[in-house]
Amino acid sequence: MQQAFPPPPFIAGLTEDRLLIWRMNHLTGQPVRLLGGIPLRSVERLKIVDDNSFTLPAELRFVDGSAVRGEVRVRTQPLEFAQALTRLKT
């Protein structure tokens, strides 16, 4: 499932049953183009380590055992995003 992700930077969003991925504009930080979606049933978890810095280490793990690792910006509310993903998975 890891192959479905573009190289950073990208923007992720949630619907009730999909994780959506957009290409991000490097200058504005805004979404430019929807690249696709992944069924939430394919996602095992999103782990974000809150270490009180500007960017936080993150790992998105899939049920097939693959993972995408990177950093997320604090201003994008990554902890709330992870909580929303967990709520949708239950």
Rg (CA), the chain: 12
pLDDT digits (tens, 9 = 90+) for 61-81: 999 999 988 888 766 788 888
Amino acid of residue 26: H
pLDDT digits (tens, 9 = 90+) for 7-59: 777 888 899 999 988 888 888 888 899 988 999 999 999 888 777 777 788 88
pTM for the model stands at 0.76
Question: H or E stretch including 45?
Answer: strand 43-48
Report the 10 Å Cβ neighbour count for 40.
Answer: 15
Owning domain of residue 62: 2-89
- Give CA–CA dist 11/66, Å, rounded: 19
Q: What is the CATH number of the domain that holds 67?
A: 2.30.29.30
Q: How many domains does the chain have?
A: 1
